[in-house]
Amino acid sequence: MRIRLSVAKLTAIVCLAMSLSACQVGESKTAKEWFDLTYAGLAGHEHLTFQGNAVLTRGKQEKIEDSFAYTGELSDHHELKMRAVLPKGQKSGLQTAGVKAGQSLEANLRWKGGVWMAASSEADAYTRGIARLNPLDQLEDIRKADKKSITLEKGAGRGTKVLRIELDPEVAKQQLKAKLAVEMEGLRSDWSNKLERIGSKRSPEMKTEVSNLWANGNKQLEQMLDRADAKVLYYLTINRKTGLPARLVSETRLSYPNLLGITEHEVLYTDNQFSKIK
């Protein structure tokens, strides 16, 4: 009887030691390992949805210029549909650009060649602007950044891990420049397509005018970005049980000189909640 009790106790001790060891292995993951685990796990799922909110502020006092909610649905691994609606009764910088309150903005994106791009060559500037809020693209930016800081936050909610991820300022600026360059090329293509449809006798003359306007605008943009400072910070909440992302919050700060040489300040905040990951 004593032998049996001793064996039982020994077995219990061994089992307890093994369980503690397993817990220690899980807890010993570095912040980067948690991110890699999450990215790899997400890549193995073909469907998910997310709900997001975006807020754009300007000036040192961070006065809100735009704020709206958006949704996204991924299907078949590489097809993503995003939709945003400008709230009614809200003054917005988008309204001055011709977007009406209550108007729906949609972006159909496709994962191709390692990047998210507009599914249609006729996507307009608004579509590309909405696409920039894509949290899946943000995760890709984090993965591709060769210089970044990833640390584990203390006090994460039960059953979660929270990563604080800050990109190197120069890397952040180069990523932003690359995205804006794609958007500018899309804008030029959009203008050219519209001129082709007009078919006016003045078409060649108008093409030259539009081309010059685009070239000047693109040059000014490049000059501002060359002198700009960028800071991009993310907070990624991970479900410890599944290893999948639950939430991704981003803060993009940009300071740049305007045409008068005065420094402008912009901050874009996004907050995305993931669900229905299958």
Structural domain harbouring 264: 31-275
Whether the CB-CB separation of 71 and 52 falls below 8 Å is answered with yes
Assigned domain for 24 exists: no
From the CA atom positions of the chain, what is the Rg in Å? Answer: 24
Assigned domain for 254 exists: yes
- CATH number assigned to the domain comprising residue 129: 2.30.230
All residues at 6 or more sequence positions from 123 whose CB lies less than 8 Å from its CB, including other chains: 107, 108, 131, 186, 190
What are 231's two structure tokens? 């800071």
Assigned domain for 258 exists: yes
Q: Whole-prediction pTM value?
A: 0.82
**Element (H or E) spanning 79, and its range?**
strand 79-85
Query: Tell me: the pLDDT tens digits for 60-113?
Result: 899 998 888 999 999 998 999 999 877 665 555 554 445 555 667 888 999 988
Assigned domain for 96 exists: yes
State the DSSP string of 192-228. HHHHHHH--TTHHHHHHHHHHHHHHHHHHHHHHHHT-
Give the mean pLDDT of 182-196: 76
Query: Tell me: the pLDDT tens digits for 104-149?
Result: 788 899 998 888 888 876 666 677 778 889 999 999 999 999 999 9
Assigned domain for 120 exists: yes
Closest CA to 56 of 196, 234, 250: 250
Assigned domain for 2 exists: no
Assigned domain for 103 exists: yes
pLDDT score, position 128: 75
**Total domains, the chain:** 1
162: buried, middle or exposed (CB in 10 Å: 19+, 13-18, 0-12)? buried
Assigned domain for 194 exists: yes
